[in-house]
């Protein structure tokens, strides 16, 4: 049987996302759901922030030139790293949960599909269930695999 994804969007509420992650960890351990329940946090703005420093080669050259003249180049780097940490703290947070139950565990799969979105930290995160037959399943599957 194919896996099913549940996508949650916590907006900028990092605390709710961490509560949800903690709850999933508790369920995994209590109900022995090792390979059946996998999740990954999705922070799309952080990925963009990580890619951004690779692009500005001109800024790096200017920073190297300024460094040879004095210590002024060190101050902007500190400010940039502060902005990056603020973006990480205030960025959008999503949670992608993958459920995989074998064909003889259909009842368990249905129960978890009903339970997870109905629990408290997940309710307010606009849960969206993506089945194997849905159009966006392939894109969701690739996104889950690409998250680290």
In the chain the beta strands, taken as DSSP E runs, fall at 4-9, 37-42, 94-99, 128-130
The residues pairing with 39 across neighbouring beta strands, listed in sequence order, are 97
Q: Going residue by residue through the chain (148 aa), what tens digit of pLDDT does each one get? A: 579 999 999 999 999 999 999 999 999 999 999 999 999 999 876 555 444 444 444 444 444 444 444 444 444 444 443 434 444 556 889 999 999 999 999 999 999 999 999 999 999 999 999 999 999 999 999 999 999 7
Strand order in the sheet with 94-99: 37-42, 94-99, 4-9, 128-130
Contacts of 25 (CB under 8 A, 6+ apart): none
Q: Count other Cβ atoms within 10 Å, centred on residue 72.
A: 10
């Amino acid at each position: 049987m194919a896996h099913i994804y549940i996508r949650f969007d916590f907006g900028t509420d990092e605390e709710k996302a961490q509560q949800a992650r903690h709850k999933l960890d508790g369920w995994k351990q209590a109900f022995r759901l090792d390979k059946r329940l996998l999740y990954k946090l999705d922070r799309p703005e952080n990925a963009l922030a990580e890619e951004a420093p690779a692009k500005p080669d001109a800024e790096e050259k200017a920073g190297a030139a300024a460094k040879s003249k004095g210590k002024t180049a060190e101050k902007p780097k500190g400010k940039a790293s502060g902005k990056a940490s603020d973006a990480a703290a205030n960025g959008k947070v999503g949670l992608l949960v993958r459920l995989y139950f074998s064909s003889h565990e259909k009842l368990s799969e249905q129960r978890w599909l009903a339970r997870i979105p109905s629990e408290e930290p997940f309710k307010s995160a606009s849960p969206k269930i993506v089945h194997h037959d849905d159009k966006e399943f392939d894109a969701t599957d690739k996104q889950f695999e690409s998250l680290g």
